[in-house]
Structure 1
Amino acid sequence: MLTADDPLPFPPERVLIAGVTGSGKTTLARRVAQRWNLVHHEIDALHHGPNWTPRPEFLDDVRAFAETSRWVTEWQYTSKGTDSILPVRADLLPWLDYPYQLVRRRLLRRTLKRRVLRTRLWNDNVEPTLWSREAWTGENDIMRWQKATRHKWDERMPRIEAEFPHLTVVRLRHPRETERWLRAAQ
């Protein structure tokens, strides 16, 4: 496993970004796409159909872009089957392993902003209103989801490294490390 200060052994072509909900995977994916001239496939846009229903074509779309030569995406929907597709093809895995309080604040700020401004997301979906009960309970409670899954990558990473030895993992523990890594990477 590399750190922010280790040079990359190759110019990446297929990048899979891991991290807890709210860590900044999509933001980093956009920046990585620009940095290395890769195509960003936002995985949420592929997954969410109208009315937040999963798109039946989701895994077919993931398989299709994974077979291309130059891409970046976020590692999500592991229980939906992305684990058998994305890490097999990826060559670089930046892992955003930021402090919990930092990602907690980021997610709360993003969630409040989207709900207050009624931000249109994938396939014209909008998060529940700020004041509705459903916004903060059950499957719509993204804050609860983040808390429940915050240790997922710590637990999974040893298995990932063993199962996918071709995958170069870069553990980034703070946004400052991520900035340093991006500046130094070729």
Structure 2
Amino acid sequence: METPALSDIPHTAARFNVVGTSGSGKSVFSRRLAEILRAPHIEMDRLFWRAHWQQAPEAEFLADLKAALDAPCWVLDGNYSRSIPVKWANVDVVIWLDYPFTVTVTQAVLRAIQRAWRKQELWPGTGNRESFHQTFFSRQSILWWTIKTFAKHRRNYEALMANPDFAHIRFIRLRRRRAAEAFLNQLQQAR
């Protein structure tokens, strides 16, 4: 399906999870979706990353996620497959940004350059910033992560969509940026 119809979203839908490989544009899409729906935007990376690139302890991360999702409506931005039992317990719609490899990697490179150049703090209060060295010459490079996990994410989400345990969730797979843009525009016009 190139652009899903708004009828594909249940009228009672209030809880959305936007997923996709790093660099696919989840955060930008999620913020726009949350604005249209007038719903809180929850960024999983913000819950996970602490100052100096320290990861939140697993139990704390999942507890923070559960607390953030204790609301009647929200737009959740992020993958973290180990969090599926928490984040999909009450989700209505999962939107998968499944763009081609070249589009995703190009977006990831441009985003990384922009962040490193501007020395932009990624999550307020953490001091975490991307650098050119970290982005292009480190084993912890987000670009390397994007390249390394692209095919794995695709296989995992295809399996999850087919899993009968998640038959209650409406999955929307957007394969092109123009389809995602059209989807948001349709939703905006319907509001």
TM-score, normalised via structure 1 length: 0.88
1:84 Cα shift?
1.6
The residue that corresponds to 1:150 in the other structure is 150
The secondary structure found in structure 2 opposite 1:150 is: helix
The residue that corresponds to 1:4 in the other structure is 3
Q: Which amino acid aligns with 1:136?
A: F
1:3 Cα shift?
5.3
Deviations 1:81-110 (A, max 9, x none): 312211222111111011111111111011
| Percent identity (aligned) | 27
Instruction: Please state if 1:62 is matched with 2:61.
Output: no
5+ long unaligned stretches in structure 1 = none
Question: 1: distance between equivalents of 2:158 and 2:102?
Answer: 24
1:55 Cα shift?
2.3
Instruction: Please state if 1:72 is matched with 2:75.
Output: yes
Off by >4 Å, runs of 4+ in structure 1? none
TM-score, normalised via structure 2 length: 0.86
Q: Which amino acid aligns with 2:20?
A: G
Between stretches 54-63 and 2-11, larger displacement belongs to 2-11
- Is contact 2:42-2:76 (8 Å) kept? yes
Question: 2: distance between equivalents of 1:164 and 1:136?
Answer: 39
Q: Describe how 1:24-173 pairs up with structure 2 within 5 A.
A: 24-56=25-57, 57-78=60-81, 81-122=82-123, 123-127=126-130, 129-130=131-132, 132=133, 135-139=136-140, 141-161=141-161, 162=163, 163-173=165-175
The residue that corresponds to 1:176 in the other structure is 178
Q: CA RMSD in A?
A: 1.8
Deviations 1:106-154 (A, max 9, x none): 1101111111221112212112x32x37852212x11111111112332
Instruction: Please state if 1:13 is matched with 2:14.
Output: yes
Q: How many residues were matched structurally?
A: 180
- Is contact 2:13-2:92 (8 Å) kept? yes
